[in-house]
Amino acid sequence: MSAPGSNDTEPWPLWEVFVRSSRGLSHLHAGSLHAPDAEMAVRNARDLYTRRNEGVSVWVVRSSDITASDPDAKGAFFESPRGKEYRHASYYTESEGVKHL
Amino acid sequence: MAASANMARNTEPETVEDPDGRARFDELIAADQRVEPTDWMPEAYRKTLVRQVSQHAHSEIIGMQPEGNWITRAPSLKRKAILMAKVQDEAGHGLYLYSAAQTLGTPRDKMTEDLISGKAKYSSIFNYPTPTWADMGSIGWLVDGAAICNQVPLCRASYGPYARAMVRICKEESFHQRQGFEILLHLSRGTKEQHAMAQESVNRWYAPALMMFGPPDADSPNSAQSMAWNIKRFSNDELRQRFVDMIVPQSEVLGLTLPDPDIKWNEERGHYDFGELDWDEFYEVLKGRGPANAIRLERRRTAHEEGAWVREAAAAYAERRRQQSEKAQAA
């Protein structure tokens, strides 16, 4: 799989940006941007995705370094949880009305 | 707004007809779900989106110029800071949108190339000049106001990366409209000259702002398809009406009039009636014969060319750092 940045038409690689909005929360994907190197990517990410106090921490990762599940196999790949409602608390209804359960 | 697995498209922009993919696409659209970059999509859908999203990105980038023009002459430090923040937002909006367009397989450089060669279009509104400070107010109130009207429904557009970019943009855009309204309000309540300046500016921007929604529905051949694909949610005329209904009462708060003698509340329709617009002018400006087309493109081209050494230096620096770290690892 090729990524923008790995070919001649995109001289700068693409980076995915993750922003932590406050301490104690996870970094969430905010978007992507182009930058020549990681340091510039972090600076650009600050300018592009945290102009209004959106974050206290930024991660950048080269898009080409992300391994994704095969989009065409989504049915089969994510099938196993289906039909296993007993993995959710809502499956157990007989305790309805019982407190602290 | 690209997601990792989008990139396959970049080397493979041609869509091969795929019956299963088509069935899945039709299902997604029928269920009003989002289409993501890795999904199969019809070539025409992809092309429509590339055109719309890149035009939108270009508009944000070109839109920095009429206001950037006023940063040095903004009447106070506060207004300067606000205007700089707004212009910076527009650069950001352009970048979100370019990223969204890239997920469709169009390289960034190709889009830039199309813009500065004059091949790609951008919103005709930015081809009008901004000779007075009041124009900063009118752009915020009317131009950004019309843009918000257009953009809020786009947050539900069927293409995921575009819709997500629009959510972010709409959040930031509301400050743009309010600050414009405030500029006009202060001028309107100021001296006689200031009031006249605000009124003169609104007179110039009213019709072009209404034309931002595009030609009347009867003359907008692509609209029906875009609506069927859930890219567009409301017709040009519906959105235009919605906008007029909002700005008429707002103009009363401003103490300014709108330059259309046909504006009148229509009890039966529950909307304001308004007059015909001069669509010949719209098409002239769109074709590049507007008052500022040449200046805008020239400015963009110069900025791009004069920035080339910065891009090259950054790339060379990154490459040297990479080589150094490789050498260090080998040692």
The pLDDT value recorded for residue B174 is 85
CB neighbourhood size of B327 (10 A):
9
In a domain, A85, yes or no: no
**Nearest Cα to Cα of residue B50 among B23, B20, B93, B10:** B10
Dump pLDDT digits (tens) for B282-300.
Answer: 888 878 788 888 899 999 9
pTM: predicted TM-score of the whole model, two decimal places: 0.87
Q: Is residue A93 part of a domain?
A: no
Angstrom distance (rounded) from CA B90 to CA B101? 16
Residue-wise pLDDT tens digits, A84-98: 888 888 889 998 889
Q: Predicted confidence band at B25 (pLDDT cuts at 50, 70, 90)?
A: very high
Which residues on chain A are in Cβ contact (under 8 Å) with B108? Answer: 4, 10, 34
Distance from B194 to chain A by nearest Cα, in Å?
Answer: 32
Establish if A58 belongs to a structural domain. Answer: yes
Q: B43-62 vs B108-116: helix axis angle to the nearest 10? A: 60
Q: Kindly state whether residue A4 falls inside one of the protein's structural domains.
A: no
How sure is the predictor about B15, in pLDDT bands with cuts at 50, 70 and 90? low
- Residues of chain B whose beta carbon is less than 8 angstroms from a beta carbon of chain A are 1-5, 7-8, 10-11, 36, 38-39, 85, 88-89, 92, 95-96, 99, 102, 107-110, 164-165, 168, 172, 311, 314-315, 317-318, 321-322
Q: What is the pLDDT of residue B20?
A: 87
- A87 within some domain: no
| DSSP-derived secondary structure letter, B228 | H
| DSSP state letters, B126-159 | GGS---STHHHHHIIIIIHHHHHHHHHHHTT-SB
* Confidence (pLDDT) at A7: 52
Would you state the structure tokens that stand for residue B194, as one six-digit string?
A: 């200031």
**pLDDT score recorded for residue A59:** 97
pLDDT at B238 over 90: yes
pLDDT of B169 > 50? The answer is yes
Mutation pick from A6, A8, A14 vs chain B, by most beta carbons of B within 10 Å, is A14
CA distance B197 to B192: 9
Encoded tokens for B19? 């019956």
| Contact (CB, 8 A) for B134 and B41 | no
Look up tokens 């429904």; give the residue: B153
**Domain for residue A81, yes or no?**
no
B95:A52 CB<8 A:
no
Q: Is B276 exposed, middle or buried (0-12, 13-18, 19+ CB in 10 A)?
A: exposed
Residue A34, in any domain of the structure: yes
Instruction: Give the pLDDT confidence score for residue B274 in this predicted structure.
Output: 97
Does the CA dihedral B213-B218-B222-B224 come out positive or negative?
Answer: positive
Q: Which one, of A24, A48, A65, A47, lies nearest residue B165 by Cα?
A: A48
| Whole-number Cα distances in Å, B135 to B167, B180, B213 | 27, 9, 20
What percentage of chain B carries pLDDT values higher than 90? 78
Whether A51 and B88 lie within 8 Å, measured CB to CB: yes
Please judge whether A36 and B11 are an interchain contact, meaning their C-beta atoms are less than 8 angstroms apart. no
- Residues of chain A whose pLDDT is less than 50? 1-6
In a domain, A71, yes or no: no
What is the count of structural domains for chain A?
1
Residues 6 or more apart whose CB falls under 8 angstroms from that of A25 comprise: none
Residue A61: domain span: 11-66
Q: Which of B159-168, B234-243, B313-322 shows the lowest per-residue confidence on average (mean pLDDT)?
A: B313-322
**Cα–Cα distance, B71 to B80 (Å, whole number):** 6
pLDDT given for residue B201 in this prediction: 98
CATH code assigned at A49: 3.10.20.520
With CA atoms as reference, report the closest residue to A63 among B317, B111, B15, B37: B37
